[in-house]
Chain A
Amino acid sequence: MIKVLFFGRLRELLNCSEIQIDDFELGSVANLRVLLAKKGPKWAEFIEGNNALVAVNQDMVDESSQIKTGDEVAFFPPVTGG
């Protein structure tokens, strides 16, 4: 099981702040994107747009990073703090 969180504009676009994926087989961030894209047109749009940054366990990572059971993955738009 992994937990996937969404923030900012992305959370609103998907109308979703958090999902759990029970059957995610071990794979990379890129694999997870492919899986999420299948959930509908808006999901595909954010995956294909490739505008979402990714953090695994609260650290920014790249597409090749491996995700393991129990991880917390977060997708979010470019940050605008400060």
Chain B
Amino acid sequence: MINVQEADFDLNKQYTMLRAKDNTDGAIVTFIGLVRDFNQGHDVTGLFLEHYPAMTQKSLEKISDRAKKRFNVNQLDIIHRVGQLNLGDQIVYVGVSSPHREEAFSCAQFVMDFLKKEAPFWKKETRKQHNKDVWVETNQKDKEALKKWQ
């Protein structure tokens, strides 16, 4: 399941969906990314998440396909929110079920590393004074994160 949506999501519901399939899985790993204060400033109120609608779903599907080929996982779910979000809001969800925990952990990590490098989303920090909104920069750590998968 891959969803790009404005609406929030509920971890309990997602977890139930991951568990319900069959009894061959011994591990479930879930990751949730939150909106944090990039600027450590007091006037940051949240983020606007812009995306490239025609490409977003396709890009996440490609990442998901690559991950499923590489790791022994039974289910892989991704949700990414777009639009206006507040500090502390949930922004991204990755849920993996697998017979073994190593594969589940690695798969979730793999998906997040590629999502942060390839999926067409852009964060703009919104501030109390709207004329000061600032685009968030990529960081070096995210750029280098893919090296471990080569």
The interface of chain A, by Cβ under 8 A from chain B, is 5, 7-9, 55, 58-60, 72, 74, 76-82
Contact = CB atoms under 8 A, between A and B. Distances in A.
A59 B63 CA distance: 12
Contacts of A60: 118
Contacts, number: 69
A82 B33 contact: yes
A72 B54 contact: yes
Given A9-B135, A76-B52, A76-B122, 17 more contacts: A5-B52, A7-B51, A7-B120, A7-B122, A55-B55, A80-B122, A80-B123, A80-B135, A80-B137, A81-B80, A81-B92, A81-B115, A81-B119, A81-B122, A82-B80, A82-B91, A82-B115
A55 B53 CA distance: 13
Contact of A7 (B50, B58, B137): B50
Interface in B24-78: 33, 49-52, 54-55, 58-59
Interface residues of B, number: 27
A58 B59 contact: yes
Contacts of A59: 55, 58
B17 to A, nearest CB: 21
A78 B120 CA distance: 8
A55 B138 CA distance: 18
Given A5-B52, A55-B120, A79 B135 contact: no
Given A55-B55, A72-B54, A81-B92, A8 B117 contact: no
B92 A82 contact: yes
A82 B116 contact: yes
A56 to B, nearest CB: 10
Interface string B96-135: 0000000000000000100111111111100000000001
A58 B52 CA distance: 9
10 residue pairs, one from A and one from B, having the closest CB atoms: A81-B121, A8-B122, A58-B55, A78-B138, A82-B116, A9-B135, A80-B123, A80-B136, A58-B58, A82-B115
